[in-house]
Structures are given as structure tokens and as C-alpha cells.
Amino acid sequence: MAARHLDGRIAIVTGASRGIGRAIAERFAAEGASVVVNYVAGSKAANAVVAGITSGGGTAVAIQADVSKRVSVDELIAATLARFGRIDILVNNAGVMITKPVLETSEDDWDLTIDINLKGAYLCSKAVAPVMIRQGAGTIINMSSNSGLYHPSAMKWTEYVVSKAGLNGLTKAMALALGPQIRINAICPGWIRTDMVEAIDPEVQQRILDETALHRWGTPGDIAASAVFLASDEASFITGELLIVAGGRGMH
Ligand SMILES: NC(=O)c1ccc[n+]([C@@H]2O[C@H](COP(=O)([O-])OP(=O)(O)OC[C@H]3O[C@@H](n4cnc5c(N)ncnc54)[C@H](OP(=O)(O)O)[C@@H]3O)[C@@H](O)[C@H]2O)c1
């Protein structure tokens, strides 16, 4: 068998019960990692992801935690260490998107979006950082978005844009603060077909496709492939970067 990119690594993927996180968990396991499949409410879906991985000979466990709550995050890290003894990779993937114009959103919409998408990544990263520093190595991947890069057509949902722009800043600031032991990068996906974007107006969907050089939706697998690269030793001199995986939409 060809050498696998993540053999022996321990990975936590937040929000791995569905969509992009699920594809990353499955792909990491196929590359030899033992994977914590985190979820907040979808225990059935998370257990199905774990069952799929283990039936293929991989190692995975489902662990419930709300990434926006510090106590819950601490429990996630403690449970991972109790099960596997170390943490090599953290993917801050859990996220939500509220699709309302800014004048129709509430303070609760703002808090929910910022708390999960931005504070969640901050809390999880702060909780794993001492573990990775003790180990002498580790890597973190933040699931940002094209929306955080100020491309006008991707800036419709204000709270979401702000959360992802903040996540880009967090990526760079923490990469600087936590090197040389920890590499931290972000992936900025374009248009990926998952539950999150299912409800978006068909006209908007068509416009986005028209703006995409490759003229197709991205797949969760497209993002998972990039995550494997960033998590692997192939990316050992890459930190503090934002990798746009968007089929040529909103080129910078
Ligand atoms: N789809 C796109 O086009 C796109 C584009 C750019 C960036 N992204 C980003 O990619 C990431 C994944 O998106 P997706 O499209 O795969 O979304 P999705 O299909 O809606 O899945 C969201 C995942 O996040 C989990 N989650 C939500 N709140 C959580 C919390 N408080 N604590 C822990 N987990 C939580 C959900 O768990 P439950 O099942 O338990 O609810 C689910 O596993 C997000 O950060 C999103 O912003 C997506």
C-alpha cells in the first residue's frame, strides 16, 4: 500500500456530522488518521460517519460538544486525550450561516454566528495549543470562506462575512503567536453543495456559477483534499496562509 499522508495522526474535526466536515473526517481516516467526529445536535449522523469509517478499517469516535461554549470545548479536548493520548490536527470546521439582510437580523443572529464561527475556533485552538506545544508539533486548519475575503458578490450576509474575516485574522495572528511548534492555516471555500447552501435562491445560485471560472459547484471532497494537504508534512513550511478553493470565483 502507498504511504498514507496522515498515518498515526490524531485529528479532531469539528462539525463533522455533515457536509464539508464529514468529508474531511472520512478523508483523514482514509489517510491513516484516527478521527474525532464532533457534532452538536446530529448524533445519528455523526454515529453514521463513525460507522462508515470503522467499517472501512479506520478509527473514529463521535464526541458531542458545542464549540461556542468553553466548558464544552474543554470536555471535547479532555475526552480526545483520554481516548487517544495526543492531538496532532484540529480542524475548526463547525459553522452556521444566517441568510437574512443585515437590517432584518437580530442581536441573537449576530451572537450565534460570531460565537460558533469565530469564538468557536478561538476556544478550540486555545484549548489544543498547550497540548500541541507540549508535543512539540501540531497543526490547525480553520474553515473560513470566500465570504471573508471581501469579494462583493460573496458579501451578502453581514454576520457571516464578519465571522469569516475575523477567522482569517485569527489564523494569521495565532500562526505568528504559536509558531514554531504549531502551523495554522485557513481554507476559504467557494460554493460547495451542502445543507448550508441548499436554501439559497436559484437565481443567486446561477449567478455564482456564472462567476466561477470552472463553472461548477465545489464538492466537500474538493475541500477535504486541500485539508489533507495542509494537515500533512507536504505543507510543513506553510503557515498563516489562506488557501482559496473556489474554482476561480472571486480571484484575488
Ligand atoms: N457550503 C459552502 O458553500 C461553504 C462555503 C464556504 C465556507 N463554508 C464553511 O464550511 C464549514 C462547514 O460548512 P458546511 O457547508 O459543511 O455546513 P453544514 O452542512 O451546515 O454542517 C455544519 C456542521 O457544523 C456543525 N455545528 C453547527 N454548530 C455547531 C456547534 N455550535 N458546535 C459544534 N458543531 C456545530 C453541525 O453539527 P450538527 O449536525 O450536530 O448540527 C454540522 O456538522 C462552515 O464553517 C462553513 O461556514 C461552507
Q: All 3 cell numbers of residue 4?
A: 498514507
User: What superfamily does domain 10-245 belong to in CATH?
Assistant: NAD(P)-binding Rossmann-like Domain (3.40.50.720)
Q: How confident is the model at residue 144 (pLDDT cuts 50, 70, 90)?
A: very high
**In the predicted model, what is the mean pLDDT of residues 14-24?**
98
Q: Which of 190, 207, 164, 193 is nearest to 244 (CA)?
A: 190
Q: How far are the Cα atoms of 17, 22, 40, 225 from residue 62, in angstroms, in the given order?
A: 9, 11, 10, 22
Reported as a single tens digit per residue, the pLDDT across 104-138 is: 999 999 999 999 999 999 999 999 999 999 999 99
Q: All 3 cell numbers of residue 73?
A: 470545548
pTM: 0.98
Nearest CA to ligand 1 atom 4: 192
Contact 15, 24 (CB under 8 A): no
Domain boundaries along the sequence of the chain:
10-245
Ligand 1 atom showing the smallest separation from residue 196 Cα: 20
pLDDT: is 196 or 172 the higher one?
172
**160 in active site:** yes
Best probe residue, ligand 1, of 13, 18, 35, 97 (max atoms within 8 Å of C-beta): 18
Instruction: Name the strands in the sheet holding 10-13, side by side, starting at the edge strand that comes first in the sequence.
Output: 59-64, 34-39, 10-13, 89-92, 138-143, 182-189, 242-245
